[in-house]
């Protein structure tokens, strides 16, 4: 006699989260607090990255932990306090990057399957927390957006390193894309030009020349193959063409030296000193390598370098704001993101 097995009622299919596309804007980073302990935590993470300081040997570790992290946090904390967003108790970089993400989300609001978030390579919110949040919202594809127009291993590549480290711990990884550098992208150059022209129109003086100051880098990194310097040159050349200026009216310099090694030249601070001594009295500075205003633009350029220029005979100095979350700046980010999301949305 054949026994028939009872027929089971099919179980309802498990409802999964709708598949979404995540966009993660990433900038360099910031201390959580404008005091020595907060800066110390930030600097330790930043300067322990082998992409930033390539020789992480015993000597560097002794210098970092025995000298730099004992003295530098106090002085840098004073600098951060000069620019700190006291209302939100955070650095301007964090305020602006959050706003960039919010405005991008609003611009993409007609695509309800796209989720936008933001993160910092060093400090908080971390890249790990950003990716985890996107996955929790059902994102099975993520576009990482390093907010660096010019590529360098110490900025763009280290963002990718951290993204890959986060994904390496996951069994079920989302598909990943990373936006390329946009150092001579037409939308970016146009936005820079418009921001410069708009700012100059508000000044009570006419600058004799403009200095384009980029973050510096040890020359040895370029000698080893980093394309950063060539990208900075390409940006400046494209900006000169757009503004109708030559190399005497739009200068290229590099700021933010650290340590005793030779860095990319000409140096911004030395150029400010030289120009003032040569008789230049009115100047404006733009920082095309920064997508958002931060310590290096608001304190180092707008305050420290302005003082150098005036101390040596200069009279009028203006720091041109970064693109930030302005309409031209958001046009750049939106254009870049929509281009790289093709096929996903």
Contact criterion met (CB below 8 Å) for 340 and 17: no
**pLDDT of 130 strictly over 70:** yes
For residue 81, say if its preceding peptide bond is cis, omega within 30 degrees of 0: no
Per-residue pLDDT tens over the stretch 171-213 = 999 999 999 999 999 999 999 999 999 999 999 999 999 999 9
Give the angle 283-301-229 at the CA atoms, nearest 5°: 90
Question: What's the DSSP call for residue 345?
Answer: -
* Confidence at residue 13, expressed as pLDDT on a 0 to 100 scale: 41
Which tokens in the block code for residue 327? Answer: 């309409």
How many C-beta neighbours within 10 Å does residue 179 have?
21
- Check whether 215 is labelled as a binding-site residue: yes
Per-residue pLDDT tens over the stretch 279-307 = 999 999 999 999 999 999 999 999 999 99
Give the angle 27-30-35 at the CA atoms, nearest 5°: 175
Per-residue pLDDT tens over the stretch 231-251 = 999 999 999 999 999 999 999
- Overall pTM surpassing 0.75 (yes/no): yes
How many C-beta neighbours within 10 Å does residue 316 have?
17
Which tokens in the block code for residue 257? Answer: 């030296």
> Residue 143: CB partners within 8 Å, gap ≥ 6?
21, 22, 23, 24, 176, 177, 178, 179, 337, 340, 341, 344
Containing H/E element for 10?
none
For residue 326, say if its preceding peptide bond is cis, omega within 30 degrees of 0: no
The pLDDT of 216-243, averaged and rounded, is 98
Measure the CA–CA gap between 172 and 186, rounded to whole angstroms: 37
Question: What's the DSSP call for residue 50?
Answer: T
């Amino acid at each position: 006699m054949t026994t028939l097995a009872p027929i089971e009622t099919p179980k309802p299919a498990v409802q999964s989260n709708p598949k979404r596309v995540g966009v993660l804007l990433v900038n360099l980073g910031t201390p959580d607090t404008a005091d020595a302990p907060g800066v110390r935590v930030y600097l330790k993470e930043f300067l322990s990255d082998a992409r930033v300081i390539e020789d992480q040997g015993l000597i560097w570790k002794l210098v970092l932990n025995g000298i730099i992290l004992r003295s530098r946090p106090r002085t840098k904390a004073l600098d951060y306090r000069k620019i700190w967003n006291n209302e939100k108790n955070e650095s301007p970089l964090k305020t602006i990057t959050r706003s960039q993400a919010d405005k991008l989300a609003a611009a993409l609001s007609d695509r309800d399957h796209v989720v936008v978030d933001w993160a910092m390579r060093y400090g908080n919110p971390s890249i790990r927390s950003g990716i985890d949040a996107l996955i929790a919202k059902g994102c099975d594809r993520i576009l990482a957006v390093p907010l660096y127009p010019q590529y360098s291993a110490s900025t763009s590549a280290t963002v990718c390193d951290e993204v890959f480290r986060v994904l390496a711990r996951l069994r079920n990884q989302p598909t990943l894309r990373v936006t390329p550098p946009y150092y001579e992208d037409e939308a970016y150059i146009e936005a820079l030009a418009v921001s410069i022209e708009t700012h100059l129109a508000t000044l009570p003086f006419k600058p004799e020349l403009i200095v384009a100051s980029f973050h510096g880098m040890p020359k040895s990194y370029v000698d080893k193959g980093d394309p950063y310097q060539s990208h900075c040159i390409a940006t400046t050349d494209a900006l000169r063409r757009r503004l109708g200026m030559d190399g005497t009216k739009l200068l290229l310099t590099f700021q933010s030296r650290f340590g005793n090694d030779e860095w990319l030249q000409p140096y911004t601070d030395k150029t400010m000193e030289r120009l003032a001594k040569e008789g230049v009295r009115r100047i404006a500075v733009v920082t095309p390598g920064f997508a958002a205003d931060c310590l290096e633009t608001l304190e180092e350029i707008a305050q420290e370098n302005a003082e150098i220029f005036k101390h040596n005979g200069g009279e009028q100095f203006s720091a041109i704001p970064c693109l930030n979350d302005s309409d031209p700046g958001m046009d750049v980010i939106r254009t870049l993101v929509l281009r790289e999301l093709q096929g996903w949305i």
